[in-house]
Structure 1
Amino acid sequence: MLLDNRFARDLPTLCVPCNPVAAPAPQLVFFNTALAADLGLPLPQDPAAGAALWSGNALPPGITPVAQAYSGHQFGHFSPVLGDGRALLLGERQDHDGQRRDLAFKGSGRTPFSRRGDGLAALGPMLREVLIGEGLHALGIPATRALAVATTGAPVYRDAELPGAVLTRVAASHLRVGSFQYAAAHTDRPTLQALLEHTLARHDPQQLGRADAGLHLLAAVAERQARLIAQWMGVGFVHGVMNTDNMALSGESIDFGPCAFLDAYDPARVFSSIDTHGRYAFGNQPAIAQWNLARLAEALLPLWDEAEHERVAEAATTVLQDFATRFEAHWQALQARKLGLSTPDAGLAHDWLALLHEHGVDHTAAWRALADARDQQARRLLDLFPDPADVAPWLARWQAVCAAGPTELRAVNPRVIPRNHRVEEALMAASEAGDWAPFNALLVAVRRPFDDDPALARFAEPPPAAQAARYRTFCGT
């Protein structure tokens, strides 16, 4: 397995070499054959060898893992040193499209950034990374993906004793807003410039060598995040912990610890047990992305001489102010597609979501039922509301302007998402009982989100309302 170590080579002061801890009895329990083929990686032929490789016990020659350094605003409070406390970057590899992809371990043991943590991961949270990453990918939303999960044969102690595991994650990169925050806070201008050039080479090579390249990076990241957050909102995805160290400059979804999906539509819905004030509530995600981008702008400012700061700050402010416009354009265009409209209709879309909110209607089921309504089967949509009269006037308005047929609507409004209750059932069965059937069945389902296959019907069903209301997520550390 040949991997380039460009990050460590270009930015040696922003990482620390570190080896994974030995796993006493590793077993390879998940391997993403399709992703491996895209990366040109061989499939594990020998179970023992595969387990040794993807647990970190037997890395190929030439691979020197590193823990990346970064800072971060966590729930609005700046932590000057965070870094990979339980992750190791193995290196980069080109996929079949010529795009460079990072391969990294998660849960592979302590690093110099672990602080008081053990650097380990439990099996359940690593399997969550599999289900959420594959689910978002199938929905067409940029996301990091799991290549492999290996159990270690050693316990991890949290509230209880849990089986330990190592995830191998594939990402467009692991560069974050926090990467620039760390460089700005702890290094010099040449290092910050080197980080900028490395990032541009990875994600925006057309901007290399341009004047004000840092501003061009800020604008590019703002555009990617505006598109990504709109996609999250379209499927009811709540990231749960949008700290600056969890905002990837690539525009990919990353770190799926306390994430969840809406059941009943509610802009104020919070799932994460540690988000006690609702900072990262579903409806707050666009504003939080803009706030994080402002922190990126601050970290980029030292690239210019002090005499240029006022001009650059004004230009960066314009980019930040434009973020709301960027997001709204993506959001309105996405809602138009989901509603089957030839042009956006903000009023119609607003009134639809207001109806879902007012009546506590399931987000995914309601959008999907629009396809049935176009297929002369409006009963499924009407039955989602306490009284069909609640939605009938809006339905008449929509049917008068909808330009799409049911097939088109079914291609953009998923039937299956990684439902919270199904994810928990699958993780509990695999982690606590060693029963992999629920996990494997759910993985098949989330990889086919738009299918009407009757075999997937149970994965499209919302949970009981009381169960959905009390659902909480945890960071999984």
Structure 2
Amino acid sequence: MTQFDNSYVRLPDRFFTRIAPERAPAPEMVLWNADLAAHLGVADWDAEICAGNVIPDGADPIAQVYGGHQFGNWSPQLGDGRAVMLGEVVTDKGRFDIHLKGAGRTPYSRNGDGRAWIGPVLREYIVSEFMHAVGVPTTRALAAVRTGGRVQRERAYPGGLLVRVAASHIRVGTFQYFTAREDYEAVRLLTDHARARHFPQATNTIEFYQEVVRAQARLIATWMGLGFVHGVMNTDNMAVSGETIDFGPCAFIDGYSPKAVYSSIDTHGRYAYEQQPSMAHWNLAQLGSCFVPQLEDELGGQQQAIDALTEVLNSFPGLYQAEWRKVFGAKLGIADAREDDLPLIQDLLGMMAKDGADFTNTFRGLLDGSARDWMLDREIFDDWSARWQARRSPDWQDIAAKATPAVIPRNHRIEEAIQASLAGDDSKAKRLAEVLSHPFDLAEADRDLGLPPREDQMVHMTFCGT
């Protein structure tokens, strides 16, 4: 039995708009996350509920308002333009939002249709569940639904809807929205709400900010360890909970390039793979500026507030580097990666970048001896390997096996699944979702999913789907 307890709607009305999802003509379940459904107490939900045609007892549907910097440009009002939050459910592991993405127009749609098509829905389902399976903090997918309607983009596509589950949908942009309006009471209320919900150990505003900074340092390091490129790290796409959110034009690197960009709208590489740490730092600076007025009261002056926030913000690079070192050290089978291990890690990445070596298979190949095969200059690799063997931990294989999955959501495989689904065949999407739910253990029959793309299969550009 679903237990709703909708705390966000107890905030003032200016935080959201109550609105019901638009009706889907003929909803059909494409992917259903039975394990997550059981945990949330929604195992009896069907396509009608997941599409928003039937509102479950206790739900209180809303669209949340927020602003944000999009590619560095300020947008004073964004908000849930194509999503409706049904409400919050409480489990033994905490409180979770249930969100219908692609549920139709809201007051924040900005002339959009409020809908999604099935391609981006399948992408987010597959990628977010993979991220969960490899231990990356992330929103999750409960269901992918075909709505029975058509969505017009560059052509008409089958409509889709994602049922997304998150620790919350509070974003950096949520704080920015109220700060820009000089609604400091709302910022304070939001801070108290988010602190109680995500970081109850934080006793005040500056400690809350510290926790958000730490969470983002951990999150971005895990992205980097997977070769993950988010693609649209706007401040409205950064959740203060520390979860990955909004998987629009995301992609995973095949042949390693630190400058990898896939998003069709990232024309200047603002959110390239190597830029992600600095972009997270920039986003956190925007969040910190929202806390100045309330910290003036807490700390006794504007300069004291700015100094305290600056100190926390300046801790991000060190926190991130420590997390990055831990992530990549583990991929090399090093249990206690130190500062003096950086050359070993960076030299391997340098070889990989020079040769365009497959990111995932090179690291995975350290386990079975095939990493050398991905290199063009194997003598240089052999020299590196001798250094690595002298440094790795005694139980290095156990450490490395848990740090690099055997299979990732390859861009070309996701595209294949989307194209098959457009033709009425959901089997490829279902297979990907199943295999990627246990990505460290690849069965012989699924070895093809671990292969990099041929030249004619490469996906060089991804799209957000709005």
- Calculate the TM-score normalised by the size of structure 2: 0.96
SS in 2 for 1:312: helix
Contact 2:31 2:144 in 1 (8 A): yes
- In structure 2, the partner of 1:338 is 331
Tell me how far 1:186 sits from its aligned partner: 2.5
- In structure 1, the partner of 2:414 is 423
What residue identity is the alignment partner of 1:131? I
1:175-194 Cα offsets, whole Å, 9 max, x none, are 00001001212252222211
Matched, 1:450 2:445: no
Contact 1:152 1:166 in 2 (8 A): yes
Between stretches 392-401 and 408-417, larger displacement belongs to: 408-417
Tell me how far 1:234 sits from its aligned partner: 0.3
Separation in 2 of the partners of 1:386 and 1:11? Answer: 61
Tell me how far 1:386 sits from its aligned partner: 2.0
Separation in 1 of the partners of 2:126 and 2:387? Answer: 37
> Which residue of the other structure, out of 436, 451, 473, is the alignment partner of 2:462?
473
Tell me how far 1:428 sits from its aligned partner: 1.3
Contact 1:39 1:96 in 2 (8 A): no
SS in 2 for 1:205: coil
- In structure 1, the partner of 2:38 is 37
CA RMSD of superposed structures (Å): 1.4
- In structure 2, the partner of 1:354 is 350
- In structure 2, the partner of 1:76 is 72
1:14-53 correspondence runs (5 A): 14-44=15-45, 50-53=46-49
Q: 1:299 to 1:388 in 2, by over 3 A?
A: same
Q: How many residues align?
A: 459
Tell me how far 1:100 sits from its aligned partner: 0.6
- In structure 1, the partner of 2:249 is 258
> Which residue of the other structure, out of 115, 124, 142, is the alignment partner of 1:129?
124
- In structure 2, the partner of 1:386 is 376
- In structure 2, the partner of 1:231 is 222
Tell me how far 1:12 sits from its aligned partner: 2.2
- In structure 1, the partner of 2:449 is 459
- Calculate the TM-score normalised by the size of structure 1: 0.94
> Which residue of the other structure, out of 290, 309, 324, is the alignment partner of 1:299?
290
SS in 2 for 1:391: helix
Separation in 1 of the partners of 2:3 and 2:146? Answer: 24
- In structure 2, the partner of 1:198 is 193
SS in 1 for 2:243: coil
Contact 1:33 1:43 in 2 (8 A): no
Tell me how far 1:24 sits from its aligned partner: 1.5
1:318-365 Cα offsets, whole Å, 9 max, x none, are 111110000000011111111112432111001111110111100000
- In structure 1, the partner of 2:168 is 173
Separation in 1 of the partners of 2:221 and 2:452? Answer: 23
- In structure 2, the partner of 1:314 is 307
Tell me how far 1:281 sits from its aligned partner: 0.2
Tell me how far 1:5 sits from its aligned partner: 1.8
Q: 1:387 to 1:346 in 2, by over 3 A?
A: closer
1:4-53 Cα offsets, whole Å, 9 max, x none, are 22101124211011111111111222221100111122334xxxxx1211
Matched, 1:189 2:184: yes
SS in 2 for 1:383: helix
- In structure 2, the partner of 1:286 is 277
Separation in 2 of the partners of 1:57 and 1:41? Answer: 16
Tell me how far 1:289 sits from its aligned partner: 0.3
Contact 2:5 2:90 in 1 (8 A): no
- In structure 1, the partner of 2:400 is 409
> Which residue of the other structure, out of 71, 77, 89, is the alignment partner of 1:93?
89
Contact 2:296 2:305 in 1 (8 A): no
Tell me how far 1:61 sits from its aligned partner: 3.6
Q: For structure 1, list consecutive stretches of 5 or more residues without a partner in the other structure.
A: 45-49, 373-377
- In structure 2, the partner of 1:47 is none
Separation in 2 of the partners of 1:87 and 1:324? Answer: 34
Separation in 2 of the partners of 1:123 and 1:156? Answer: 9
Separation in 1 of the partners of 2:166 and 2:390? Answer: 43
What residue identity is the alignment partner of 1:87? A
Q: 1:412 to 1:315 in 2, by over 3 A?
A: same
Tell me how far 1:233 sits from its aligned partner: 0.2
What residue identity is the alignment partner of 1:7? Y
Identity %: 46
Separation in 2 of the partners of 1:407 and 1:455? Answer: 24
Tell me how far 1:416 sits from its aligned partner: 0.3
Contact 2:6 2:89 in 1 (8 A): no
1:201-220 correspondence runs (5 A): 201-207=196-202, 210=203, 213-220=204-211
Matched, 1:328 2:321: yes
Q: 1:316 to 1:392 in 2, by over 3 A?
A: same
SS in 1 for 2:98: strand
Between stretches 418-427 and 383-392, larger displacement belongs to: 383-392
